[in-house]
Structure formats: structure tokens, C-alpha cells
A and B are shown apart, each in its own frame.
Chain A
Amino acid sequence: MDFAFTPEEEAFRREVAEFLEKEAPREYREKKVTYFDMASQPDWIAQHRRMAEKLGERGWLSIHWPKEYGGQDKSPFFRLILREELTRYHCPGYDSIGCGIVAPALMLKGSEEQKKRHLPGIASGRVMWCETLSEPNHGSDLAAIEVFAREEGDYFIVNGQKIWTTNAHFADWNALIARTDRNANPPYRGLTFFLLDMKTPGITVNPIINMAGHHEFNEVFFEDVRIPKENVVGGVNRGWYVVMSLLDYERTSDVAYAVAATYLEELEEFARECDLLTAAAKDRFARLRAECQVARLLHYRVAWMQSQGKVPNYESAMSKMVSFELLQKVCRFAVELCGESGVLAEDSLRVPMHGRIASCYLRSFGFSLEQGTSEIDRDVIAQRGLGLPRLR
């Protein structure tokens, strides 16, 4: 056993930190904006893109990819280190969907042409992605989705509605799962996975405002949207297998454990300054700090498995669930710690911590839902992980 980072990994961390010390948007650092409540800032999309390009220029977004796809063959820990440092510096720029989900899924299931076409854009930070999986009537039960893609010559023609699509209002490309066979039995065998240029005619994106008042996700309508057949990934009616591997990457794309640890640290400093560190509060901090370590290790385990060429299974669901639920707890604790000022809105007089407390609190209700709910994660751990039988 060895729980240390290699000297090379440590050096990379220092390099990233030095860079962010200069380049991370000042205001975001001052306001301690988190990755998850970035949308509270009016200029976040511009900042997100600006920083993504800078990270892309340095080759950091693809540093852990194989050389043949423009990467540097580094361990998956390099990706985590990058994200941990971005978190510490409150810096946007990591497209969780493009870099964290679509790229690894493409490397696993995409054709050579698709890889050549799409990976460089993701690595450069210039092409950002969204994913349209969920539909109004089907969220957890993804196999039941209804948006339909009809085959016609060299194209598939898509009609229907997706919902909760994060970043669809500015993404350049979209990872879409649609039904191509209505009679498939079981239904998941009738799904196909597509790559879709968001500039294609027939796509309408409408904002949905979340309970924190932020615009992050959207509803997306498709009306006779034409997708060239070369944009099918993994074969017609074989989209389910692409989605399954994608979900496993999705679950370890974000570093909620790091967001939690950073927030907790800043919260403690704030509490000390404001004389809020009662004995009871100190106990809560201590427990949450211990939990941060556990969550981090559960995440590192997945990265370690990947570095060994093993395919994580229930381990990524466990890591995602623990990290996100931990962050949710920290956000809830923060409000209790602040008392009545914890419910002051970001633009209020006397608001503590530049508005983070309420903004993160409200945003935190999504943490146990997005990227698959905690209920589904627990099913995965119990059934796929521990081999318990499922009810039919």
C-alpha cells in the first residue's frame, strides 16, 4: 500500500497552483464561488470558456489521455489534481461533461474517426458539451426513454423533448440518447447514442431556473433534427452500452469531496472570525472533516482502479454518492452555523461569505439527484456491488 502522490504528481499540483494563482478570476476567489454555484455569477459562461481555453492550451484537460489522442499518458490522478486545484482557486473552466464524460466514453466506444474529430476540440477547451439523457417522463429509468430517431437515408431524424440538460444554452455539441426501435424487448436494446452539433436546425433550448435562482439546466426540443449516420456511437440499437460506461465516468467526473473540503475550511475560518465556533460547532466541523477524508479515498480508489486498467463498477456509484451527500451536508451545516443570516440572499445587505451560504444551500438539493439519484446509487452498490438479488 502507498497513499502518497508521486513526485511528478506533486510537481504537477504545484505547477497548476502557480498558474491559477495568476490566472484564476480574482472575483470568483474573493467570493469563493464553488463549481456548483458558478451560475450565480452573471459572467460565468464567459469565464468558464476563457479558463477552459487556457487550460486547454497547456494540455491539462487531456493530460491523462493516451498519447495517440493528444494526451500525455499520465495517471488519472493528474485529472483529479487539476480539478482539486481548480476547486481550491474557485476557478471555472473544466467542462465536466465534455472532458469528464464524453471524452472517456468516446475513447472506449467511439470509432477512430469520431475520436479524431471530437477529442481535439474537447482537449483544447474550445468545444463544450451537454448531455441529453433525461426526459420529462423518464429520469431514473433511462431505458424507457421515448425521444425517437427515425432512419432516413444517410441520416437519423430526431423528434421529441429532453429535459434538465445542463449547459445546453451554450454547449457546442450534445451527447444524445434516443430510441431507434420502439418494439425492442427489453426496451434498452432499442436505444442509440448520437453526437449532435447544437447548431443543427430544429433544436430549441428553453431555460429552466433552479430553486437557487440560477440558470444551469434547460429543456431541449427536437423538431426534425437531422443527424448524419456517422455520428452514431457504438452502433445502432447499442446505445445502452455507451450510456452505461458514460454513467460510470460521469459519477467520478466531479470532485464534490474537494468542493466540500474547501468550503468546510473557508467556513471554519469565517466562523472563527465571527465568533461562531461553539463547542457544538467544533464537533460538527470535526466530523465533516473526517468524512471529507473518507470521501476523498473512495474517489481515489476509483482513480487507482482506472490507473491499473481495471473497470470500476459499483465503486464509482459509491464515490459519487458519498461525495455529493457529504457536500450536501456541509451546505446544510453552513446555514445552521450562520443562523438567520444563513438565509440572506446573495444580493442582500449583511450577507455572510459573499452569498455563498444560501446559494450553495439551495443548490445542494440537486446533489442527491443529478448524475443519477442516491436511491439508484444505493441500488447499484447493493445489487451490482454486493450481488444482492433484485425484485422484478
Chain B
Amino acid sequence: MDFALNEQQEMMQTLARDFLAGEYPEKVLRAVAESETGFDPRLWKKLAETNLLGLSIPEEYGGVGDFLDLTVVLEEMGRACFISPFFTAVALGAGTILEAGSAEQKAYSLPAIAGGKSIVTLAVAETSTGHFAEGIRSVATRAGDGFAISGTKLFVPDAQAADHIIWAARAETGITLFILDIKTPGITIRPLKTISGEKQCEVTFENVRVGQDQVLGYIGQGWGYLEKVLERASVATCAEMVGMADHVLRITLDYARERVAFGHPIGAFQAIQHRFADMAVDVDGSRFVTYQAAWRINSGLPAEREVAAARVWVTEACQRVVNSAHQIHGAIGFTEDHVLHFYTKKVRARGLSLGGIGYHLGKLS
């Protein structure tokens, strides 16, 4: 066993940390959270120059690093409360193409993602509480040489900034994935406004025509691919939450050392110390259970139970951490001016994303 990062992972960590420290100060976070597009094209270009957009994409397609490297980088992005389409493009878009795409599709799409030239989003859910196969009602019917697709998806991340969209619909033998240009006629994107500043959209397909070559993987096999993609994406989400919780713990510790009440730093009160002790358990536990799952995926081992354990435990633990952080900060942490609420909102949103923990509870019971 080895609980430490290797040299390559440490390099990635430093790269991401330095990039975010330089390019993503709180001022930028505030601007991005309030912006309509949810990302800054200039920042995106710089991110592409670091090669981080190629994480977990094989080198032959212009990528770099493996899934553990991606996990390490996402933890850093969580720490900075990085609001961007990174997760969408890399964990969802590239992740699905890697899982389901033909060699041709990979060669076409992946280098563009890694190079920052294309953002691909993934549209699965049609209700707010679950990623379940039964929840997919959108239909693709044969039309000419290809298909005509109709349906509505909720919570499609970053559709407003995306160039391509992967769509899950029922076609012939079952759930099938399609990949298409997001500007294809018949597609309507309506932004939803979230409290976290992350961008989600409702996307409607009305008789959208696609060719046979736009089927991603095999007809009827879509849900199998998605299960794999969601497994990885769930761990990726956990990594972000770990980074956010860890940062929140750090700033709360700093505050508890400084803030004085009744003649003592509030960190000297046992009621506060016990909260901190629990936060430390939550952060350490979250990190290890996340990395165990990431390591299994990276090593090609079956990971279903480990992923489910991580998703369930980390979601609740990180929620406890931000709740305690607010309590310890007192009124100052309840203001818009303080940075804490950005983390609180994003941790909450992340915890509910990709169908929340319901799906994973099912896998564990």
C-alpha cells in the first residue's frame, strides 16, 4: 500500500494549483459565478495551454495522464472552487467518447477536447432526482439514413458553452447515444439559474435529424456505456468535493485561531474543537475513499462498490464539513462578501448532481 502521490501526480497537482492560484483569484470566481456563460474563453485558452484539458485522454489523441491524475487535478479545482466547463468537457464529454466512441469518432473529437477547441456535454437526465435508465423517455426514430430525435433533458451541464452534445434516447433495441453539433436545427437551449453559479440548461430536441455515423457506440447499448461513464464521473465529483471540503476546513481553522470570544480564540473551546475533529475525519475519510475508487478504476479493477461507497459517504461528509464551517464562522460566514458560501453552494450542487446518492445507495444495499 501507498497513500502518497507519485511524482507525476505531484507534478499535476502543482501545475493545477499554480495555474488556479495565478488565474483564478476570488475576484475571477465572483465574476464567473455571476456571468451568463459560466466561463471565460481567455481562461479556457490558457487552461488548454497547460494540457490539463487532455487529462485521462490517451496520448495518441493528444491527451496526457491517467484517471488518477485527473482525480488529483479535480481535487485542486475543488479547492479553488473552480467554476468552468472542465468537469463537463473532460469527465463527461471526453469520458463518454472514450467509453463508447469508434476509433474514428475518438480521433475526430478527443484531440479537439484536449486542445480546448471543443466542449462536449452529456444530456441524460429528464427528471431532477435520478440518472436511471427508466427515466430516459426521449425517442429516436428511423428517418431516412439516420434518426429523428425528440425529447427534453433537464440539467444538461454547460450546454450554453458547448460545441457538441451527447444525447441519450430510446432507439430500436434500447437506449442509444448520439453525438451531434449543438447548433443542429431543432435544438433549443434554455439556461437554468443555479445558486452555485454553475451553468445548467434545459435542452429540447424537436425532430432533430442525425446520421447513422452520429450514433456513439452500438444502438441499444447506451445505458451500459453510461453506467461506466457515471462511475468515473461520480468519482470525479467526489474529488472536487474533497478539494472543496479540505479548503473549507483550512480557512475555518485559520479563522478559529484568530477570532477571539470570551478572551480566547474560539478554536480553544471544546465545542468548536470537537466540530473540527469531526471535520478532519470527514476530510481524511473522503479523500481516502475517493482515491481508493479512483485507483481501482485506473487499475482496471471492478469498482462498483467502491465508487458507490465514495459517492454516498463523500457527499454527506463534505456537506457536514461546510455546515460546521458556517457554524464556526458565525455571522461573517453568512454574508455574500465572504467566500465561504461559494463552496457551500457548489458542494450542495455537486452532491445532488448526476442523480445524487440515490443511485449509489441502491448499489450498496
Contact = CB atoms under 8 A, between A and B. Distances in A.
Interface of A: 134, 137-141, 144, 163-164, 208-211, 213, 217, 276, 335-336, 338-345, 347-350, 352, 358, 361-362, 365-366, 368-370, 373-375, 378-379
Contacts of B125: 340
Contact of B261 (A139, A209, A362, A378): A139
B341 interface: yes
A339 to B, nearest CB: 3
6 contacts: A211-B336, A343-B348, A347-B193, A348-B193, A369-B330, A374-B327
B349 A210 contact: no
B346 to A, nearest CB: 9
Interface string B257-289: 000111100000101100000000000000000
Contact of A344 (B192, B326, B333, B340): B192
Given A211-B344, A350-B202, A375-B272, A140 B330 contact: yes
A339 B129 contact: yes
How many of chain B's residues touch chain A, expressed as a range?
35 or more
Given A211-B335, A339-B356, A378 B271 contact: yes
A91 to B, nearest CB: 25
A341 B334 contact: no
Contacts of B130: 339
Interface centre among A140, A144, A369 (most CB of B within 10 A): A369
Contacts of A350: 154, 192, 202
A340 B128 contact: yes
Interface string B323-365: 1001100110111111011001100110011011000000000
Nearest to B271: A375
Contacts of B356: 336, 339-340
A335 B334 contact: no
Contacts of A347: 193
Given A350-B154, A375-B272, A344 B335 contact: no
Contact of A343 (B195, B263, B323, B334): B195
A378 B275 CA distance: 14
Contacts of B341: 211, 362
Contacts of A348: 192-194
A343 B352 contact: yes
Contact of B334 (A134, A210, A378): A210
Contacts of A368: 327
B306 to A, nearest CB: 23
B252 interface: no
B190 interface: yes
B129 A340 contact: yes
Contacts of B345: 343, 362
B327 A373 contact: yes
Contacts, number: 118
Given A141-B262, A211-B341, A362-B195, A134 B331 contact: yes
Contacts of B128: 338-342, 352
A361 B194 CA distance: 13
B352 A335 contact: yes
B84 interface: no
Contacts of B200: 340
B352 A336 contact: yes
Contact of A365 (B262, B344, B355): B344
A344 B128 CA distance: 11
Nearest to A365: B326
Contact of A340 (B155, B263, B271): B155
Contacts of A338: 128-129
A276 B263 CA distance: 49
B191 interface: yes
A344 B327 contact: no
A213 B331 CA distance: 14
Contacts of B221: none
Given A339-B352, A375-B269, A208 B337 contact: yes
Given A209-B335, A349-B193, 16 more contacts: A140-B330, A141-B262, A163-B331, A208-B335, A208-B337, A211-B338, A338-B129, A339-B129, A340-B349, A340-B353, A341-B128, A343-B348, A343-B349, A365-B333, A366-B334, A369-B326
A170 B356 CA distance: 42
Find the residue from A140, A344, A362, A379 having the highest chain B CB count within 10 A. A344
Given A339-B352, A362-B195, A210 B261 contact: no
B14 to A, nearest CB: 32
A134 B330 CA distance: 11
- Top 7 A-B residue pairs of the complex, sorted by shortest distance between their CB atoms: A339-B129, A348-B193, A341-B128, A211-B341, A339-B128, A209-B336, A345-B193
B196 interface: yes
Contacts of B155: 340-341
A212 B127 CA distance: 25
Given A208-B335, A366-B334, A373-B330, A344 B262 contact: no
B271 A140 contact: no
A139 B331 contact: yes
A204 to B, nearest CB: 18
A209 B337 CA distance: 8
Residue in A141, A339, A342 with the greatest tally of chain B CB atoms within 10 Å:
A339
Nearest to A352: B128
Contacts of B348: 335, 343, 361
B340 to A, nearest CB: 8
Contacts of A144: 262
B364 to A, nearest CB: 13
B190 A349 contact: yes
